[in-house]
Amino acid sequence: MDASYAVSKAALNALTVKLAHEERDSGVLINAVCPGFSAEDTQGVAKVT
């Protein structure tokens, strides 16, 4: 996995958690959808096994 992809994904997850905690008392629901692993490489080359 590319380091920049991993860092940006972690940052978005952290932001989602932080916003959810901040808005908890206002009744606003904040969530994120994190896709699982796919066979396609981030460089556009599919890995076929």
Domain that includes residue 31, residue range? 1-49
List pLDDT tens digits, range 1-49.
678 888 988 999 999 999 999 999 999 999 988 776 666 666 666 555 5
Q: What is the pLDDT of residue 43?
A: 62
Q: Counting every residue, how long is the chain?
A: 49
Q: What is the pLDDT of residue 34?
A: 79
Query: What is the distance between the terminal CA atoms of the chain, rounded to a whole angstrom?
Result: 17
Question: Total domain count for the chain?
Answer: 1
- 8 Å CB contact between 20 and 26: no
Residue 26 to residues 1, 6, 14, 17, 33, Cα–Cα distance (Å): 37, 31, 20, 15, 22
Instruction: Output the pTM of the full model.
Output: 0.62
Q: What is the pLDDT of residue 20?
A: 94
Q: What is the pLDDT of residue 17?
A: 94
